[in-house]
Amino acid sequence: MSFEIILSILQENWPSYLRGAYMTLLIAIISTIIGALIGLFIGVMHTIPLRKKSVKSIILKIINFILTVYVEIFRGTPMIVQAMVVFYGIAAYGYEMDRFIAAIVVVGLNTGAYMAEYVRGGIVSIDKGQYEAAEAIGMGHFQTMIHVILPQVFRNILPATGNQLIMNIKDSAVLSVISVTELFFTTKSIAGANFRFAESYLITCIMYLVMTFVASRILRYVEKRMDGQNAYQVEQRREEQMY
Amino acid sequence: MEKVIEIKHLNKSFGNHEVLRDVNFTVNKGEVVCLIGSSGSGKSTLLRCINLLETPSGGEIIYNGENILDDKHDVRKYRTHLGMVFQQFNLFNNHNVLKNCMVGQLKVLKRSKEAAKQNALKYLKTVGMDLYVNAKPKQLSGGQKQRVAIARALAMDPEVMLFDEPTSALDPEMVGEVLKVMRQLADEGNTMLIVTHEMEFAREVSDRIVFMDKGVIVEEGPPEQVLVNPKHERTKEFLKRTLK
Ligand SMILES: Nc1ncnc2c1ncn2[C@@H]1O[C@H](COP(=O)(O)OP(=O)(O)OP(=O)(O)O)[C@@H](O)[C@H]1O
Ligand SMILES: [Mg+2]
């Protein structure tokens, strides 16, 4: 393994590497967002208070059962297998699914299954008093969720979402099995052509590391921003300013 | 006297545990009523039934002549007429002081942003917290939080203020600042129903004191009567225990 070889691989293949990294990032970011939204939806559905035995509550129970089945399936099977089943499963019905879309569906559904639990935890960990105070000033369940509960849940699940993003950057490598041209798949082609496996993959390794490192720093920054300044401004009274 | 809230034969059970039994009483306009009684007697439950945070098991709650337990009654609208102050403050953690006092006005009463802001500032001034509009709840002391919580309730311009032991979660040195605000509200003629263990305060501000024990109202009347010359054995015992 030599430095010159690495340089020459880079010289020849840098556009491919960058395109691969771009695809990896794109898949990771989009599917993390989709997954977070799915998780949010499931988390909210699972925490709607059930009143009495009404038609509504029966429908809700059925929906929640289906959602639970989905979560269990996606958490209980490897993503690499899910990718095969989704892609070739749909192909078997005669639809040629766009590989990029298939990738986002698989990673997004996978992330959603994990996020659901974090969101549910994030909602139930909010103090009962927050709901009561909102109710007491006449807010409905939906308003309470939007204006009081979910903003706090967002903050609570931000670290978990960040972790998912980093996992997705790395784990999207398994999508190479359905020939999605993300970073790992791209590297496979490069190394397959130049037979310099060690050097080609070392470059890839560093690229993954840079992406995950930068992502985690950005997320840390966002968390800090959301927490706001620690100090607050005490407004000056007019009279005081005059002296 | 104009009745604002009238409670008739109110019952509340949790499972087979009867917490309120045949409670009858009235809050009149401009009146300050203090609810006292030992721990577990059902004071909080009564207050929470009044604004329907708990669903009564039976009885009637008449607000301005209408029974709000009727199925067709608009519960959310009714709640805007009651300002609730909790023992644990329950300020919205995601909003700053000003927004805490505005969000209900904006989303429930549909007031304009400017009107809501002016009203919020007015009441924040009343409670002496107008200089802290930018602060988040976690940056405030208990007494400050409770004063903001009072302003938040007032900002909805309710007809009755309900207080559930507003000073019980406070460090002793902060009790005074909250009681001072409440005294001022009482002097201004607000209608208030207060659950409290502060006997001295209750004696000074209330027009009427209601003593509860084991889910029933044992005795009620003007402070001098209930606190100084109680008729009931149970009231005497309670006072002996708390005043010593
Ligand atoms: N959600 C609930 N489920 C079951 N029991 C409850 C519930 N809330 C209150 N209780 C019971 O109802 C009784 C009255 O409680 P409540 O909180 O109204 O008393 P309180 O007079 O406010 O007491 P304190 O002075 O300690 O606040 C207690 O025995 C309590 O255990
Ligand atoms: Mg209580």
pLDDT one digit per residue (tens) for chain A, 243 residues: 688 898 999 999 999 999 999 999 999 999 999 999 999 999 988 888 776 678 888 999 999 999 999 999 999 999 999 999 999 988 888 888 889 999 999 999 999 999 999 999 999 999 999 999 999 999 998 899 999 999 999 888 999 999 999 999 999 999 999 989 999 999 999 999 999 999 999 999 999 999 999 999 999 998 888 776 655 666 655 444 433
| Domain count within chain A | 1
How many whole angstroms separate alpha carbon A114 and alpha carbon A32? Answer: 11
pTM of the model as a whole:
0.85
Instruction: Please report, as a single letter, which amino acid is at residue B232.
Output: H
How many whole angstroms separate alpha carbon A152 and alpha carbon A126? Answer: 8
Paired sense of beta strands B3-14 and B17-28, if any: antiparallel
Per the CB < 8 Å rule, is A137 touching B136?
Answer: no
Q: Which ligand is nearest to the CA of B41?
A: 1
Give chain A's length.
243
Chain B residues closer than 8 Å to A133 by CB: 84, 86, 90-92, 149
How many whole angstroms separate alpha carbon A179 and alpha carbon B109? Answer: 56
Question: For residue A81, what is the domain's CATH number?
Answer: 1.10.3720.10
What pLDDT was estimated at residue A238? 45
Mean pLDDT of chain B: 94
Chain B residues closer than 8 Å to A148 by CB: 92, 94, 103
Q: What superfamily would CATH give domain B3-242?
A: P-loop containing nucleotide triphosphate hydrolases (3.40.50.300)
> Measuring from atom 5 of ligand 1, which residue has the nearest CA?
B14
For residue B132, give how far its alpha carbon lies from the nearest alpha carbon of chain A (Å): 5
How many whole angstroms separate alpha carbon B193 and alpha carbon B36? Answer: 11
User: pLDDT digits over B42-71, tens only?
Assistant: 999 999 999 999 999 999 999 988 899 987
Per the CB < 8 Å rule, is A138 touching B134?
Answer: no
How many whole angstroms separate alpha carbon B7 and alpha carbon A200? Answer: 80
What pLDDT was estimated at residue B1? 77
Per the CB < 8 Å rule, is B135 touching A232?
Answer: yes
Per the CB < 8 Å rule, is A129 touching B90?
Answer: yes
How many whole angstroms separate alpha carbon A58 and alpha carbon A71? Answer: 20
In this structure, the residues whose C-beta lies within 6 A of any atom of ligand 1 are B 14, 17, 19, 37, 39-45
Q: Using the mean position of ligand 1's atoms as its centre, give its distance from the Cα of residue A112 in Å.
A: 40
| Residue closest to A158 by CA, chosen among A222, A209, A217 | A222
| Residue closest to B69 by CA, chosen among B81, B42, B51 | B51
Q: Which residue of B lies nearest to A132 if distances are taken between CA atoms?
A: B53
What pLDDT was estimated at residue B189? 93
Give chain B's length.
244
Q: Using the mean position of ligand 1's atoms as its centre, give its distance from the Cα of residue B143 in Å.
A: 24
Per the CB < 8 Å rule, is A143 touching B133?
Answer: no
What pLDDT was estimated at residue A239? 43
Per the CB < 8 Å rule, is A139 touching B104?
Answer: yes
SS3 content of chain A, % helix, strand, coil (to 5): 85, 0, 15
User: pLDDT digits over B111-160, tens only?
Assistant: 999 999 999 999 999 999 999 999 999 999 999 999 999 999 999 999 99
Which of A127, A138, A148 lies closest to B76 in CB terms? A138
Chain B residues closer than 8 Å to A49 by CB: none
> In which domain, by residue range, is A137 found?
3-242
The number of the ligand 1 atom at minimal distance from the alpha carbon of B197 is: 25
How many whole angstroms separate alpha carbon A14 and alpha carbon B19? Answer: 75
3 state SS of A216 = helix
Q: How many contacts does A have with B, using Cβ atoms within 8 A?
A: 78
Chain A residues closer than 8 Å to B91 by CB: 133
User: pLDDT digits over B196-214, tens only?
Assistant: 999 999 999 999 999 999 9
Chain B residues closer than 8 Å to A230 by CB: 139
> Residues A226, A39: contact at Cβ < 8 Å?
no
Per-residue pLDDT, averaged over B16-27, amounts to 94
> Measuring from atom 3 of ligand 1, which residue has the nearest CA?
B14
- Rounded to whole angstroms, the maximal C-alpha distance in chain A is 82
How many whole angstroms separate alpha carbon A99 and alpha carbon A84? Answer: 11
> Measuring from atom 1 of ligand 1, which residue has the nearest CA?
B14
Instruction: Please report, as a single letter, which amino acid is at residue B123.
Output: Y
Alpha helices per DSSP H over B62-112: 75-80, 97-107
How many whole angstroms separate alpha carbon A176 and alpha carbon A187? Answer: 10
Per the CB < 8 Å rule, is B93 touching A152?
Answer: yes
How many whole angstroms separate alpha carbon B203 and alpha carbon B17? Answer: 32
What pLDDT was estimated at residue A227? 76
Per the CB < 8 Å rule, is A232 touching B132?
Answer: yes
Instruction: Please report, as a single letter, which amino acid is at residue A12.
Output: E
Task: Supply the DSSP string of B179-190, one letter for each residue.
Answer: HHHHHHHHHTT-
The number of the ligand 1 atom at minimal distance from the alpha carbon of B43 is: 21
ipTM of the complex: 0.93
How many whole angstroms separate alpha carbon A100 and alpha carbon A82? Answer: 15
* C-alpha Rg value of chain A to the nearest Å: 24
For residue B135, give how far its alpha carbon lies from the nearest alpha carbon of chain A (Å): 5
For residue A52, give how far its alpha carbon lies from the nearest alpha carbon of chain B (Å): 13
> Measuring from atom 28 of ligand 1, which residue has the nearest CA?
B40
What pLDDT was estimated at residue B178? 95
